[in-house]
Amino acid sequence: QVQLVESGGGLVQAGGSLRLSCAASGRISSVNAMRWYRQAPGNQRDLVADISFGGSTRYTDSVKGRFTISRDNAKNTVYLQMNSLKPEDTAVYYCNADIKVTFRLENYWGQGTQVTVSS
């Protein structure tokens, strides 16, 4: 099976930075879009940013200008560089990817990594 393994979360003061990483491994034919979601306590899981195989990016309005999503296709890895962090960015961040395993695209989730921003 395919696994998405995340790293890079932690505790940071407001205004600080973190970089999240998510690497896909397994019997992968191809990796299409990759995404970052986040979920704060009591809230639903919301899309933060996504990136196509070719590098086209989209961001939710609240993180535009502060977060940057990127990918390394050779490593099947997606990154989220988070700058100027705010307390409202505190959440569990989840990696998500559309991955072709055989003939069909399957959607996979990472285990989540905690990001906590103190004021």
Give me the pLDDT at residue 11, please. 98
Give me the pLDDT at residue 114, please. 98
Identify the band that residue 90 occupies on the pLDDT scale cut at 50, 70 and 90.
very high
Give me the pLDDT at residue 103, please. 85
Identify the band that residue 8 occupies on the pLDDT scale cut at 50, 70 and 90.
very high
Quote the CA–CA distance of 30 and 15 in Å, as a whole number: 36
Average pLDDT over residues 56-67: 98
Tell whether the model's pLDDT for residue 74 goes beyond 90.
Answer: yes
What is the full DSSP assignment across 76-114?
TEEEEEE-S--GGG-EEEEEEEEEESSSSEEEEE---EE
The closest of 87, 108, 105 to 97, measured between CA atoms, is 108
Render pLDDT for 27-39 as a digit per residue (tens, 0 to 9): 999 999 999 999 9
